[in-house]
A and B are shown apart, each in its own frame.
Chain A
Amino acid sequence: DAKTTQPNSMESNEEEPVHLPCNHSTISGTDYIHWYRQLPSQGPEYVIHGLTSNVNNRMASLAIAEDRKSSTLILHRATLRDAAVYYCIRGEAGGSYIPTFGRGTSLIVHP
């Protein structure tokens, strides 16, 4: 059970917006949605998380569908430094929590 589904890869041009989708159709009402990214040769880093409302921070925005079965990570202006693997995972509040990262989406940014 992958718990989240993401496209294997996406491409973008520098300075353009990027929308990275994630499906989490079995999400429960108290699960947060977390996004991480992993740059080459580094450990994953936190990007953003949310529960129900759309969220913004200095790195990105997170748009959560009204039924919470999907979400979209938005990079407003992609840079070459944003080339990374992006992971969407469910943060299950309470109980036994086994984080499942899946394969993530490899974002390629063209100059």
Chain B
Amino acid sequence: KAGVTQTPRYLIKTRGQQVTLSCSPISGHRSVSWYQQTPGQGLQFLFEYFSETQRNKGNFPGRFSGRQFSNSRSEMNVSTLELGDSALYLCASSLGGSGDTQYFGPGTRLTVL
């Protein structure tokens, strides 16, 4: 099976812009989770989508949003970018049971200038 894919792999934006990141899960996986990883805060959970519904949410401002499509593909959007949003954004998919093993993509490296 193909693994989790994320596009784009690298992105440079300026403050105030918005960005959309995409994630394609492993075939058959219905849950997609998003994480932000920075040197200062480590790996932090953003939110999880299951069957097109947000099932769990971490402690991030409303500028961070996401959605999931009927084919389980997911997008994450960050509006009004700030310098502190520079990070590696990781997507992980799982079969869908809460607490299931997650399979991570390679991430999207976002740099905000």
Contacts and interface: CB of A to CB of B under 8 A. Distances in A.
Contact of A31 (B56, B99, B101): B99
B99 to A, nearest CB: 3
Contacts of B107: 42-43
B90 A34 contact: no
Interface string B5-33: 00000000000000000000000000001
Contact of A45 (B56, B98, B104): B104
Interface residues of A, number: 27
Contacts of A19: none
Interface in B19-50: 33, 35, 42-45, 48
Given A94-B98, A99-B33, A46 B103 contact: yes
Nearest to B98: A97
A96 B43 CA distance: 18
A97 B42 contact: no
Interface of B: 4, 33, 35, 42-45, 48, 56, 58, 90, 92, 97-107
Interface of A: 31-32, 34, 36, 38, 42-46, 49, 87, 90-104
18 contacts: A32-B99, A34-B101, A38-B43, A43-B92, A43-B105, A44-B90, A44-B92, A45-B104, A46-B101, A46-B102, A46-B103, A91-B101, A92-B98, A96-B56, A97-B99, A98-B45, A99-B33, A101-B35
